[in-house]
Structure 1
Amino acid sequence: MNPASLIPLAEPVPIHWAWFDILLIVTLTAHLLFMNALLGSAVIGLTKSLRGQGVIIKEVGMKLPPLLALTINMGVAPLLFLQVNYGHFDYVSSVIMGGWWLAVIAALMFSYYGFYIYKFKYESMSNAVRTALFAASILGLLYVGWMFSNNMTIMLQPETWLKYFNTDGAFLNWSDPVIYPRFLHFMTGALAIGGLFVALLGQIRTNDDMIDTGMLWFTRATLVNLAVGIWFLAALPQDILLAFMGRNIPATGTLIASLIAAAFMLIAGFKKEPKKATIWAIITVFFMVCTRHWLRTLYIAPWFSIESTPVTGRYGSFYLFLGFLIVGLAAMAYMIKLYFNSRQGRS
């Protein structure tokens, strides 16, 4: 069977496809920053707690429920924009994964309630129960990350879709050598941004130990992630690897830009300047998301070109979207302001 026959036709889009790619990149950057801060700080807090230092896990644990809510909400937009331009790939991979993909919702809810229970029942639980609940909630998030890595790699390789007919109806992408460094690249990056989040909390609390701990995790995880990134790059198919080595100028340019930004980010990290490191971290993640976008484009190039997507030219829905976006962002900013002005937010 020809895998191309399994790819649905691209649906027409109301405005130029580039708008959706830009919105995908911007919103995914925001989502990854929140996700990294959430998962990374949780792992750091748990690690310190297991070593008998429970200050960081308590400080971080109080912030995780709203942080997880923001992560989920920020993740909806890029998923929708992905489905607009690349839904005929993403929908197929989601169906192929079957129950594994549907279980993401249950895992998220489990982690969400776990962090909420940790926050509001902190004083009434023993240290062993708190630690076990915290660890289980982190495992739920790791499951979600692994499933997303599977989905995003299966959608890029229609040739793997044929496995669906030789299995029990659902499979994961265990045989792909790229998925392991890809997943570790995201998880190690989460430890780095999580460390930065801990350091920023330390600045707010005027806690030098939190600042030192956070920046130490930030710099070390970033250095490790550079090595994982090289593994990720080397594991790519040769034609895609060569594209990032100079054959495709935009792809190469975004990769180089992300490495330069990461260098400045590391310098700020070694100087223990959390605010400056945060600025460079945002820039680095943005360019890494751009690099990821080119990776997706190169993978699906033999099967689909986004330039071939039909455009209807109906901008009314786009203007309506912009209006709701502005109002929504204003409402979110107001709610965040109310939260931090409340007694709970200040504490």
Structure 2
Amino acid sequence: MNPASLIPLAEPVPIHWAWFDVLLIVTLTAHLIFMNALVGSAVIGLTRTLRGRGTVIREVGKKLPPLLALTINMGVAPLLFLQVNYGHFDYVSSVLMGGWWLAVIAALMFSYYGFYIYKFRYDRMGDSMRTALFATSILGLLYVGWMFSNNMTIMLRPEIWSRYFTAGGAFLNWSDPVIYPRFLHFMVGAVAVGGLFVALLGGFRANQDMIDTGMIWFTRGTLVNLAVGIWFLISLPQDILLAFMGRNIPATATLVASLVAAAFMLAAGFRKEPKKAAIWAVITVFIMVCTRHWLRTLFLAPWYSMESTPITGRYGSFFLFLGFLVVGLAAVAYMISLYFKSRQGRA
């Protein structure tokens, strides 16, 4: 079977496709920052508790429900922009995963309510019950991350789509050598950024122990993630690996820029400067998302090029989107200002 025959035709887009790629990169950066803070800080809190040091998990546990809500909301936009430009790949991979993909919703709801119960019924539960609830909620998040890794790799490999017919239905991408370092690269990176979140929270609480703990996790996690990143890079198909090694200048430039930003981020981490490290972390995540964009482009190059996407030139919907975006950001800024005013009043 010719894999190209399984790829649906690309739908026309109203404006130039580059707008959607830029919006995808920006919104995905925001989503990943919240996701990293959520997963990483939860893992750190659980690990500290298992070692008999439960202070961090109590402080972190208070922040996890709103963090998860923000992570989910921030994830909607990049998923929609992905479907605008690459929906004829992403929709297919979602269907091929079937129930595995649909179960993501149940896993998110389980983790969401688990963290809420942990926060509001902390004093009513015993230590073992609290730890078990926290651990299973983290497992739900890890399931979601693993399913996203499967979806995002299956969409890049139309040559494996025909497995659906031989596997008897839904399947996961277990045989892909790229998926394991890819998943670990996200999760280890989450632990590193989670450590930075713990350190920033410690600074806000004037808790030096949390600052020290967070920065240790941040620096060590980043160093480990550099090694995982090398594994990720060498696991790529040879033509894509060579593209990042100089054959494709933009792809190589983003990879080099991400390494330079990571070096500055690590330097701030070793100096135990959480705020400077946070700035560099945002820059590093943004550049890494750009690198990930080039990876997707290179994987899809044999099958599809965005330059071939038909453009209708109808900018009305885009201007409507910009209008709602401005109004929405203003409303959010107003709500945040009210929140801080209420905190000052209670103080």
- The answer to which of 127-136 and 220-229 deviates more is 127-136
SS in structure 1 of the partner of residue 177 of structure 2? coil
The aligned counterpart of 1:293 is: 293
Matches within 5 A, 1:142-153: 142-153=142-153
Structure 1 residues 84-123: Cα deviation after superposition (integer angstroms, max 9, x where no partner): 0000000000000000000000000000000011111111
SS in structure 1 of the partner of residue 195 of structure 2? helix
2:190 is equivalent to residue 190 of structure 1: yes
Matches within 5 A, 1:23-102: 23-102=23-102
1:331 and 1:111 map into 2 onto residues whose CA distance is 28
Pair 1:266–1:84, CA change in 2 (3 A):
same
2:273 and 2:346 map into 1 onto residues whose CA distance is 23
- Which amino acid in structure 1 is aligned with residue 175 of structure 2? S
Matches within 5 A, 1:121-160: 121-160=121-160
The aligned counterpart of 2:327 is: 327
The aligned counterpart of 1:103 is: 103
1:343 and 1:115 map into 2 onto residues whose CA distance is 23
1:346 and 1:119 map into 2 onto residues whose CA distance is 21
Structure 1 residues 259-299: Cα deviation after superposition (integer angstroms, max 9, x where no partner): 00000000000000000000000000000000000000000
Instruction: Check whether the contact 1:339–1:345 (CA below 8 A) recurs between aligned residues.
Output: no
Deviation at 1:151, TM superposition (A): 0.1
2:314 is equivalent to residue 276 of structure 1: no
Q: What's the TM-score, normalizing by structure 2? A: 0.98
- Which amino acid in structure 2 is aligned with residue 86 of structure 1? Y
- Which amino acid in structure 1 is aligned with residue 333 of structure 2? A
The aligned counterpart of 1:212 is: 212
- Which amino acid in structure 2 is aligned with residue 335 of structure 1? M
Matches within 5 A, 1:153-168: 153-168=153-168
1:58 and 1:150 map into 2 onto residues whose CA distance is 33
The aligned counterpart of 2:260 is: 260
1:19 and 1:112 map into 2 onto residues whose CA distance is 33
SS in structure 2 of the partner of residue 31 of structure 1? helix
1:333 and 1:219 map into 2 onto residues whose CA distance is 32
The aligned counterpart of 1:230 is: 230
The aligned counterpart of 2:7 is: 7
1:222 and 1:85 map into 2 onto residues whose CA distance is 32
- The answer to which of 24-33 and 48-57 deviates more is 48-57
Give 5+ residue unaligned stretches, structure 2. Answer: none
2:214 and 2:75 map into 1 onto residues whose CA distance is 25
- Which amino acid in structure 2 is aligned with residue 100 of structure 1? W
Structure 1 residues 138-174: Cα deviation after superposition (integer angstroms, max 9, x where no partner): 0000000000000000000000101000012100000
Pair 1:346–1:23, CA change in 2 (3 A):
farther
Deviation at 1:346, TM superposition (A): 8.5
SS in structure 2 of the partner of residue 107 of structure 1? helix
- The answer to which of 72-81 and 118-127 deviates more is 118-127
- Which amino acid in structure 2 is aligned with residue 318 of structure 1? F
1:236 and 1:216 map into 2 onto residues whose CA distance is 31
1:338 and 1:238 map into 2 onto residues whose CA distance is 54
Structure 1 residues 234-254: Cα deviation after superposition (integer angstroms, max 9, x where no partner): 000000000000000000000
SS in structure 1 of the partner of residue 122 of structure 2? coil
Structure 1 residues 171-208: Cα deviation after superposition (integer angstroms, max 9, x where no partner): 00000000000000000000010000000000000000
Instruction: Check whether the contact 1:340–1:346 (CA below 8 A) recurs between aligned residues.
Output: no
1:122 and 1:346 map into 2 onto residues whose CA distance is 23
- Which amino acid in structure 2 is aligned with residue 213 of structure 1? T
Between the aligned residues of both structures, percent identity stands at 84
Structure 1 residues 34-70: Cα deviation after superposition (integer angstroms, max 9, x where no partner): 0000000000000001111111000000001011000
